[in-house]
Amino acid sequence: MAKKVGEELELLSERIYQKLRHDIITGALRPEVPLTEAALSKRYGVSRTPIREACVRLQRERLLRAIPYKGYLVAPITLKDVQEIYHLRLILEPEAAEAAARDIDPADFARIEELVKIKYTPGDATSHIQFIRADTEFHLLIAKATNNERLYEIMKELLLERERLLYRILYKGEHGPLVSSEHKQLCEAIRARRPGKARELMIRHVMAARQRMMNTMFRMG
């Protein structure tokens, strides 16, 4: 009985985390909006415990900031954030792509081939989230090929942090086909076991993604 209750609480905590994260990424909860556990508890119709657990996880992902004695703040997205994220991606991901082309796990590559087929419909929030999750998983599977756990965890943090901006780009119907095309080229280089080509394509992809993000930031002001 106690085990069942524990499992139900764990499922509730995960559900609230996913809902809160979804609302932050899609902009339903906008940057720099203050939040309290009481307000979030009312919004999602649950007690404060799963709210608190979700907020702790979202702090680790840099989506929320704690305000002592007050609650939380939806973290703003700054130009400096974008520059730092993509600077690190340019350092880490070309090496990961090279490693993947040399020796990626066959099951992971099969999953990558599935992910590059996922599309989205402009204006459809659900398909946007699915596409973004596929994009993140695509890059994480490539990072996994390095067999470097620290690199993998750093990449996970960077990719999760930039999901909000990716959502805004996709919502306007921009760049999705470009992203898909770049992913397919990377997939082909990995399949062909061409480490140098995979590195080159990843550099191009990350640099293009950085420019897309920067352009979006400038338009947003």
Question: How is the chain split into domains, by residue range?
Answer: 2-74, 79-220
Query: Residue 91's pLDDT is what?
Result: 97
pLDDT (tens digit, 9 = 90+) per residue, 164-176?
878 776 655 566 7
pLDDT value of residue 7: 63
Burial zone of 78 (CB within 10 Å; 0-12 exposed, 13-18 middle, 19+ buried): exposed
Q: Is the pLDDT of residue 100 over 90?
A: yes
Lowest mean pLDDT among 74-78, 96-100, 121-125, 136-140: 121-125
**CATH 1.20.120.530 is right for the domain spanning 79-220:** yes
Neighbours of 220 (CB within 10 A): 9
Q: Centre a 10 Å sphere on the Cβ of residue 114 and count the other Cβ atoms it contains.
A: 12
Q: For position 128, what pLDDT does the model report?
A: 82
pLDDT grade, residue 4 (50/70/90)?
low
- Look at residues 72, 94, 20, 85 and name the one whose alpha carbon lies nearest to residue 50: 20
**Could you report the per-residue pLDDT of 11-67, keeping only the tens digit for each?**
888 999 999 998 998 888 988 989 999 999 999 999 999 999 999 999 988 899 999
Say which residue the tokens 């909006």 belong to. 33
Given a cut of 90, whether residue 124 has pLDDT beyond it is no
CA-wise closest residue to 74 among 39, 35, 36: 35
What is the band of 135 on the pLDDT scale with cuts at 50, 70, 90? very high
So what's the pLDDT on residue 189? 98
Q: Which CATH architecture has domain 2-74?
A: Orthogonal Bundle (1.10)
How confident is residue 199, by pLDDT bands cut at 50, 70 and 90? Answer: very high
The sign of the CA dihedral 176, 24, 22, 156 is: positive
